[in-house]
Amino acid sequence: MNTAHRSGRLAATALVTALAGTGLTVAAAPAAHAAASDVVAKLPISSFSALAVDNVHQRVFVADSNVGYYQNSGTIAVHDFDGERLTTITTNQQHVSGLAVSADGSKLWVGLRERVEAYDTVTYQRTFVAGASSDTCGREVAESGGQLYMTAPQAQYSSDCPTATTHVDGIINGLYARTGWNDSGDLLLEAGAGDRMLMGQPLNAKAPNPFVTVFDTSGGSLVRNAARRFADSDGKGALNLKDMALSADGSKVALADASAGTRLLNSDDLSDAVAGYQPLPAGAAASAVAFSGDGTYIARGAAASGSTPDLLVQPADPADATTPLEFVFEGSLDGDRVVPRGMEWSADGSRLFTVTTNATGSQYWLHVIQPPAVQYDVRLAGDLSHSPAQAVAGEPLAVRGRLEADGPAPAQPLKVTATRTDAGGTHELGTFTVREDGTYTVLDEPGLVGDATYTVSFLGDLTHRPATDVTHTVSVGKAASSIALTAPAEATLGGGIRITGTFTAQGKALPERAVLSGERADRLGSGTLTPVTVAADGTFTINDIPRTRREVTYTVSWPGDDLHTASTASATVFVRR
């Protein structure tokens, strides 16, 4: 029963299977839809500190920090790539914080309160122990350049942890050593391609302008390369770091910034990348980020409430406009949000492992998400058409077309986006649903007279490739206006003439009430009447004293405006003595 809601993105009817005795709930989308599947396992932990993946043996390790008391035992839940729990490793009177898997997949490095241990990833037996600086807060662990590095916060009480001085230490050639690097706060470490390691500083009272930096670890020690802080001269824009990741080729750094969203940087100098990712949905605060090992995807985790997506999975290339796959985690079956530092990919990019928690942070879930491996071609086929045949400014217009998609029918209707380009610029019209027969209708009310070019796009998703845009130009004319007069057939010179009328303007409402001009024509010539302003309901009245007998013709006119045609109407009255 535990399926990630996808806000309309590749959602499929769930096939739900409960695996008895494992604490595992599986939500598998029908294979015919090539949709993403989300296997969800309830974790046997009450707090979270680290997630690590062994790609050689297909194991996922999740650590319970449990740092509330110095004699607390630690817990490491071990799952396979299908989400099934295999075992639980317990560390007696040593809370667990950081985890890292060795490059060859043979060791699981575990950061404990007073030491660092290594466990065999097949037998789960402890194979190595090294003493380390005592840690009350929880330590990060990362292997890079063939050496193991860890953080060592110096705090006597857990309340001191956010601003404690934290050292970066290492197991260098099998021996514990201090690197000399340190700063305030629970420093984050993240290893990546090309013997590079990131170090980031969370926002804290002693670091109002935190940093992120890149280390070269190829020489067996930490050599700092690029570094950056983000606050401006007024102190605004400081980094609120929750997670960081190096791209598969090492050229980019992604930061999960709870204040600014996902930042994408060039790793060589940490400058902003030319193209970044679209903002996270409104109301979502970035909490985690991870690049797939094959360079295909980036996953962006968030803390969000209600129907706002907590996870976006999309192409790693920010120039790829493919629509992200969205997940909304809600309640006791999914958790409510992605935890900070709670995402890792398998090396081949076939699985994303995501840890979620509830709103109070007391329960945790492991999601094994498999993005679809197949993408199908999509075509916006044929010529677009529109109705009515004569488009009018300010009146509804329908532009119709057809979409053709290869592969099986999608589980949820596809959507196209549309824009209108006219003399006023380009206007986003929103998204429009594609019907089962492939047809779609773009609804609009053009606001200007002249050519309006409609562009229809299909941006793609993780199952369908983007389609080539189609365009359609419509000539938009002025809306009609009309005047209707009601006049007596006969009148007398002494009794005067009263003419009533109605003015109507279709399309866009007039900015002000129309002012009509009038003219009287009789056997003595013609003369101009006093202009009359139309009432709010469109009615008006003209009162006149005729100057001579016989036929008198009254003509009422409106000159039109930029969006409406001119109109005129006449009425003839026979005047007697």
DSSP letters, 243-264, are EEEE-TTSSEEEEEETTTEEEE
- Show the CA angle centred on residue 200, arms to residues 225 and 297, nearest 5°: 90
Q: Who's near 213: CB < 8 A, 6+ residues apart?
A: 198, 199, 200, 224, 225, 226, 227, 228, 270
Please, what is the average pLDDT of the chain?
88
Q: By the 8 A CB rule, do 554 and 546 touch?
A: no
78 and 158 fall within a common domain: yes
Q: What is the pLDDT of residue 333?
A: 84
Residue 462 lies in a domain: yes
What's the pLDDT score for residue 373? 64
What's the residue count for the chain?
Answer: 577
- Please report which confidence band the pLDDT of residue 73 belongs to, taking 50, 70 and 90 as the band edges: confident
Query: Quick one: tokens of 527?
Result: 């003369």
pLDDT tens-digit series, residues 243-290: 999 999 999 999 999 999 999 999 999 999 999 999 999 999 999 999
Per-residue pLDDT band for 25 (boundaries 50, 70, 90) equals: very low
Residues 299 and 446 in one domain: no
Please check whether residues 487 and 435 belong to one and the same domain. Answer: no
Last residue of one domain, picked from the residues 316, 349, 370: 370
Going by pLDDT thresholds of 50, 70 and 90, the confidence category of residue 36 is low
* 523 phi-psi bin (left φ>0, alpha ψ -120 to 50, beta other): alpha
How many CA within 13 A on the CB side of residue 251? 6
Residues 150 and 276 in one domain: yes
**Which residue, among 55, 40, 73, 258, has the nearest Cα to 63 in the 3D structure?**
73
Do residues 275 and 396 both lie within one domain? no
What tens digit of pLDDT does each residue of 156-210 get?
Answer: 888 888 999 999 999 887 788 899 999 999 999 999 988 999 999 999 999 999 9
Instruction: Tell me: do 386 and 317 sit in the same domain.
Output: no
173 & 77 share domain: yes
User: Could you write out the three-class secondary structure of 104-166?
Assistant: CCCEEEEEECCEEEEEECCCCCEEEEEECCCCCCCCCEEEECCEEEEEEEECCCHHHHHHCEE
The amino acid at 218:
S
Dump pLDDT digits (tens) for 445-493: 999 999 999 999 998 776 788 888 999 999 999 999 999 999 999 999 8
Would you say residue 431 lies in a domain? yes
Its pTM surpasses 0.75: no
What are the contacts of 7-10 at 24+ separation with CB within 8 A? Answer: 7/307, 7/309, 7/326, 7/328, 8/326, 8/412, 8/415, 9/323, 9/324, 9/325, 9/326, 9/412, 9/461, 9/462, 10/35, 10/36, 10/325, 10/372, 10/410, 10/411, 10/412, 10/461, 10/462, 10/463
Q: For residue 76, is pLDDT > 50?
A: yes
Instruction: Mark whether 456 and 510 lie in a shared domain.
Output: no
- Tell me the pLDDT tens digit for each residue of 295-343: 989 999 999 988 888 999 999 999 987 878 888 888 788 899 999 999 9
**Maximum average pLDDT range among 35-39, 129-133, 221-225:** 221-225
Q: ω into residue 210 within 30 of 0, thus cis?
A: no
Q: What is the pLDDT of residues 405-447, one digit of tens each?
A: 998 888 789 999 999 999 999 999 999 999 999 999 999 999 9
Domain membership flag for residue 5: no
Q: What letter represents residue 381's amino acid?
A: A
Q: Which residue has the higher pLDDT, 116 or 2?
A: 116
Q: Is residue 515 part of a domain?
A: yes
Give me the domain span that covers residue 400: 378-477
Identify whether 423 is part of a domain.
yes
For residue 38, being part of any structural domain is answered with: yes
Taking a C-beta distance cutoff of 8 angstroms, is the pair 567, 560 a contact? yes
Residues 6+ apart with CB under 8 A from 327: 4, 5, 6, 38, 309, 310, 311, 312, 313, 367, 369
Tally of domains in the chain = 3
Question: Domain for residue 7, yes or no?
Answer: no
The model's pLDDT over 525-551, given as tens digits with 9 standing for 90+, comes to 999 999 999 999 999 999 999 999 999
* pLDDT tens string 342-394: 999 999 999 999 999 998 999 999 999 988 766 788 999 878 999 999 999 99
Residue ending a domain, choose from 350, 370, 390: 370
| Structure-token pair, residue 457 | 């796009």
Q: 511 and 540: one domain?
A: yes
The token pair that represents 373 in the structure block? 């491996």
Residue 422 DSSP SS3 = strand
CA distance 297 to 324: 10
Residues 6+ apart with CB under 8 A from 493: 545, 546, 548, 549, 575, 576, 577
Q: Is the dihedral of CA 381, 387, 389, 393 positive or negative?
A: negative
Tokens 């010539």 -> residue: 525
CATH number for the domain including 432?
Answer: 2.60.40.10
CA 184 to chain centre: 33
Which of 55-59, 114-118, 407-411, 566-570 shows the lowest mean pLDDT across its residues? Answer: 407-411
Write the DSSP symbol of residue 349: S
Q: What pLDDT was estimated at residue 81? A: 95
Based on the fold, state whether residues 285 and 181 are members of the same structural domain. yes
β-strand partners of 507: none
Residue 9 lies in a domain: no
Residues 268 and 296 in one domain: yes
Instruction: Note whether 303 and 354 are same-domain residues.
Output: yes
Domain boundary among 337, 370, 403: 370
CATH number for position 132: 2.130.10.10
